[in-house]
């Protein structure tokens, strides 16, 4: 449980179904070591309050060290190389459905038997075991497409999802979850959603936070024909497609490329400029949830799928084929 309304309702639904429910809260960031405020202590109090209402046990575990090594340090390295990693994707694959899941298996549920427990979260996603997958678990989008979080779970392997249930997978956040929370009079029924990354907080500027860990090196922002438009405060401060923040122009400029060796960014005007769009892209490393690539990927012409490179992006039809180079 995170201290939000989603995990609170998930726990409540499972309790109503007659399951023996225990809550676990993971603390991933040590606020005593940073300038930014992370509401983990407040969130844990909310977890304790809901657990008291539901009359279920509540556990807390500190995974600060594991989070730093497997998520934060990896993300920092990506940002320093001009990339835009997603810490939430890493957190799910490495921490919540990795270290935490192993901890539950080894410590909390000792003596209950191999088939004695399931791991539930408040994610808006579905884990199903289908006849076409040989009985292995498959990850599906949540019914509430505006809240669907399968994107954040895309790096979790099937083995980690095998004992997972998502009680909110077929529910709507606005129509169902909030209503259930109000009917149950849960402490978190009206709690606002947390929109920030825990180690940054919701009120801080992300690039200012990263500057505390990555040396800032100013560089030029150039147009596609080499005209100097302005300067940037570090190659990590902007991502592809983001506004370049260039003042003095009637139309906005948008970053379309980065040159790490020369510490330069390149920008164009107009969101629909051809340089901001690609018809082909080479991706990797590739993680297949099932552990194996889908049939047909090696064939000429590849296979037809849908691609999504950012959370909340509308899925785009694509053709996926193996790199023959």
Mean pLDDT of each 10-residue bin along the chain, 325 residues long: 96 96 91 57 93 96 94 93 92 95 78 71 91 74 95 93 95 96 96 70 71 90 95 92 90 95 96 92 86 83 90 91 75
Look up 91 and say whether it is catalytic. yes
CB neighbour class for 225 (10 Å; exposed up to 12, middle 13-18, buried from 19): exposed
How, if at all, do strands 253-259 and 228-232 pair?
unpaired
SS3 category, 116: coil
Residue 192 has a pLDDT of 86
| Count of C-beta atoms within a 10 Å radius of residue 37 | 14
Residue 250 has a pLDDT of 86
Q: Phi and psi of 276, rounded to 5°?
A: -90, 0
Cβ neighbors of 321 (< 8 A, separation 6 or more) are 297, 298, 299, 300, 301, 302, 303
- Residue 247 and residue 244: Cα distance in Å, rounded? 9
Q: Length of the chain, please?
A: 325
Angle, helices 40-54/5-16, rounded to nearest 10 degrees: 20
Residue 3 has a pLDDT of 93
Residue 4 has a pLDDT of 94
Q: What is the pTM of this model?
A: 0.88
CA angle (202 as vertex; 201, 206 as ends), nearest 5: 70
State the catalytic residue, choosing from 38, 58, 126, 198.
198
Unique residue bearing structure tokens 């090696």: 298
How, if at all, do strands 164-165 and 119-120 pair?
parallel
């Amino acid at each position: 449980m995170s201290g939000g309304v989603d995990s609170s309702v998930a726990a409540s639904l499972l309790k109503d179904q007659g399951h023996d429910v225990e809550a676990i809260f993971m603390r991933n960031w040590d606020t005593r070591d940073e300038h930014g405020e992370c509401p983990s202590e407040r969130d844990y109090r909310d977890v304790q309050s809901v657990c008291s209402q539901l009359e279920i046990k509540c556990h807390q575990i500190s995974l600060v060290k594991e989070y730093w090594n497997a998520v934060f340090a990896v993300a920092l390295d990506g940002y320093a190389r001009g990339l835009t990693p997603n810490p939430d994707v890493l957190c799910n694959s490495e921490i919540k459905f990795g270290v935490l899941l192993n901890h539950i298996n080894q410590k909390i549920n000792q003596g209950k038997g191999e088939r004695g427990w399931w791991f539930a979260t408040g994610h808006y996603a579905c884990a199903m075991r289908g006849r076409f997958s040989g009985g292995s678990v498959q990850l599906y989008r949540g019914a509430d497409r505006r809240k669907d979080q399968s994107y954040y779970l895309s790096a979790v392997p099937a083995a980690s999802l095998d004992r997972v249930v998502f009680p909110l997978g077929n529910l709507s956040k606005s129509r169902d979850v909030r209503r259930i929370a109000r009917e149950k009079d849960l402490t978190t029924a009206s709690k606002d959603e947390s929109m920030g990354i825990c180690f940054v907080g919701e009120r801080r500027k992300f690039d200012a936070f990263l500057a505390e860990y990555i040396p800032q090196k100013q560089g030029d922002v150039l147009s596609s024909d080499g005209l100097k438009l302005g300067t940037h405060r570090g190659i990590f401060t902007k991502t592809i497609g983001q506004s370049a923040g260039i003042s003095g122009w009637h139309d906005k400029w948008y970053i379309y490329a980065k040159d790490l060796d020369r510490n330069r960014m390149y920008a164009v005007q107009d969101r629909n400029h051809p340089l901001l769009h690609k018809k082909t892209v080479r991706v990797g490393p590739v993680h297949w949830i099932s552990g194996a690539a889908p049939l047909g990927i090696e064939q000429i012409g590849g296979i037809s799928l849908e691609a999504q490179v950012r959370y909340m992006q509308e899925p785009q039809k694509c053709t996926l084929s193996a790199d023959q180079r």
